[in-house]
Chains A and B, each alone.
Chain A
Amino acid sequence: MSIADIQAYAYLVGTVIAVFVFYNYIVYLYRSEKRGEKDHEKFGKLALDDDITSKPLVDNNPEAKNEKKEK
C-alpha cells in the first residue's frame, strides 16, 4: 500500500468519524433539551444581560472569586 492509499483511507475514516460526531452532537443538543437536562437557548441571554453587576448564568468558581475580593 502506497502512502497515497494510506492517506486516502485515513481521510475516509477521518471524515466518517467527523460526520458521526457531528450528528451525535445534533442529537445531543436536542435530546438534552427535551429531557430537560440542559437549556441551550438560555445562553442566548448572555448577550442581552451583560452588565458587570448582573449575575452570571453559570458562575465560574464563585468561592475562589469571593475569597480574593475579601482580602
Chain B
Amino acid sequence: MFHWLEKNPFFFAVVVFLVIAFAGVVTILPNFSEASQPIKGLKPYTVLELAGKEVYKKDNCLSCHSQLIRPFKSETDRYGQYSLSGEYAYDRPFLWGSKRTGPDLHRVGNYRTTDWHENHMWDPKSVVPDSIMPAYKHQYTNMADIETAYAEAVTVKNIFKTPYGPEIAEGKAAFEKHFKDVVLPEAKMITAGMKKADIKAMVDSGEIPEIVAIIAYMNRLGNKRTQ
C-alpha cells in the first residue's frame, strides 16, 4: 500500500502537499467572511491617514509597537478597550506587530495629542526621558506620498468595496481635485495643532511632510475610528 510512496516522486509530492494543505483549509477558511465584517460605524481611512499608514510601514513602527490590546485587565487598564476583529476590517495589511519594545498603539489617538507626537518623533527623550526609541527627524523633511495613498484608496474601493464616496475615483484629475479639496485642508487641521513653523509653511505651500501624515494616522487610532 505504501510501497509507491517511497519510489514515485510525483505521488509522494502530491501526498505531502495534501497533508500540508489540510491544516490551512480547516483553520483559515471557515472564518474568512465573518472575520472581515467591520464594526458598526467604522469609517475607512482618509487618504491622508492612509499616507500616514504608509509612513508607519516605511519606518516599520510595527517592529516595536503592537496594535492589539489583549483581553486582560492589565492591558485594558493601560491601553483601553480590548481590540475587536471588526475594527481591523479596513486594515490592509494588518499591523498588529509581534513585539512590544514600545507600548501598544491600537488606541493611541485617545490619549496622545498632535503636539505630543510632534515633540516625540523629533526627540523621544524630550517627552519620555528614558526612551530608547530613535528620533525620526527625517519625517519632518521627507514628503508623504499622497498619490500612492490615493491609489490605494481607489484600489480598495473598486476591488474590495471599501465604502469610500464618489470623490475617490480613478485618474490624475480626480486625485488632484481630492488633494486640493480634502487632503490639504485635513493636513492644515493637523498643522494647526503643531508648533514648528517650517512644517506649517510647507503645508501652506501645498506639500505634506511625512510627520503630518503619520500624526493624522496616529490620531485616528482609537475612538475616531467610528466618529
Touching chains A and B, CB distance < 8 Å: yes
| B22 x A18 contact (CB < 8 A) | yes
Residues of chain A at interface, number, CB under 8 A: 12
A contact residues around B1 at 8 Å (CB): 24, 28
B contact residues around A53 at 8 Å (CB): none
Residue of chain A at shortest CB distance from B27:
A11
| B2 x A28 contact (CB < 8 A) | yes
Question: In the complex the two chains form, what is the Cα distance from A14 to B3 in whole Å?
Answer: 22
Interface residue range, chain B = under 10
Q: CB-defined interface of A28-71 with B at 8 Å, one 1/0 digit per residue?
A: 11000000001000000000000000000010000000000000
Q: CB-defined interface of B1-28 with A at 8 Å, one 1/0 digit per residue?
A: 1110001000000000001001000100
B19–chain A nearest beta-carbon distance, Å: 7
B80–chain A nearest beta-carbon distance, Å: 32
| A11 x B26 contact (CB < 8 A) | yes
Question: In the complex the two chains form, what is the Cα distance from A29 to B7 in whole Å?
Answer: 15
B30–chain A nearest beta-carbon distance, Å: 5
| A4 x B22 contact (CB < 8 A) | no
A-B contact count (CB 8 A): 17
| A14 x B22 contact (CB < 8 A) | yes
Question: In the complex the two chains form, what is the Cα distance from A29 to B3 in whole Å?
Answer: 10
Question: In the complex the two chains form, what is the Cα distance from A3 to B32 in whole Å?
Answer: 12
A contact residues around B30 at 8 Å (CB): 3-4, 7
Q: Is A25 among interface residues, defined by CB-CB distance under 8 A?
A: yes
B contact residues around A18 at 8 Å (CB): 19, 22
A contact residues around B26 at 8 Å (CB): 7, 11, 14
**Contact with B2, one of A14, A25, A58 (Cβ below 8 angstroms):** A25
Residue of chain A at shortest CB distance from B33:
A3
Question: In the complex the two chains form, what is the Cα distance from A39 to B218 in whole Å?
Answer: 65
A23–chain B nearest beta-carbon distance, Å: 12
B contact residues around A11 at 8 Å (CB): 26
Question: In the complex the two chains form, what is the Cα distance from A7 to B26 in whole Å?
Answer: 7
B6–chain A nearest beta-carbon distance, Å: 8
Question: In the complex the two chains form, what is the Cα distance from A4 to B22 in whole Å?
Answer: 16
17 pairs, A vs B, C-beta closer than 8 Å: A3-B30, A4-B30, A7-B26, A7-B29, A7-B30, A11-B26, A14-B22, A14-B26, A18-B19, A18-B22, A24-B1, A25-B2, A28-B1, A28-B2, A29-B2, A38-B3, A58-B7
